Amino acid sequence: SLIDELYEMGTRHVSLNGGEALMRDDIEIIVDKINAKNMLCQLTTNGLLARDKINVLKKVDSLCLSLDGDKKSTDLNRGAGAYDRIIDAIECLNDNKIKFYTNTVLTKNNKNAVDEVMELAGKYGFRAQFSLLRQEDSPDKAISLDDEESRAAIGKVLEYKKAGFNIMPLPSKER
């Protein structure tokens, strides 16, 4: 009923985020309801349940996969083995011809991750998005980038963008 109410109020884009949206037992029902209203359905996931929920992922309009960079930084941020599971999710999405983009939140743990993410983007054909963990937004200010680190990271992203790499996707209602 919430989706019906949102639609009546003029909402045309619903973004399902977390925690982890795919952990919901009713996630497919929610996605189906959003699609029935012809609303744009965007979902963000850490990818760890991609194989189990592949039928749901086929139904979303815009899919974002969280990616922290290389194995060391990803496992540091998300726990041992997370990187390998995320790469498996990327391969699963590609095998199922599901377009997605990644979002990398740059922190002190992965401030040099831009090159790694762009290498993976080239290998697997996804679009990359980057954002900075701002100190005022962080519960752990120790991992936030300082001004110099932020400028360096943004500079690296801009170099890739100027070189023609596919960065910063825009979602659409195309299937």
Average pLDDT of the residues in 123-148: 80
More confident residue, 19 or 100: 100
| Confidence label for 91 from pLDDT (cuts 50, 70 and 90) | very high
Beta strand pairing call for 101-106 and 127-132: parallel
Over residues 63-75, the mean pLDDT reads 92
Confidence band for 135, pLDDT divided at 50, 70 and 90? low
Q: What is the mean pLDDT of the chain?
A: 89
In sequence order, what are the residues at sequence separation of 6 or more whose Cβ sits closer than 8 angstroms to the Cβ of residue 13?
A: 39, 40, 42, 171
Q: Which of residues 87 and 174 earns the better pLDDT score?
A: 87
What average pLDDT does this structure show over 64-90? Answer: 91
54 in Cβ contact with 34 (< 8 Å): no
Amino acid at 93: L
**pTM of the predicted protein model:** 0.87
Say what the pLDDT of residue 108 is.
Answer: 87
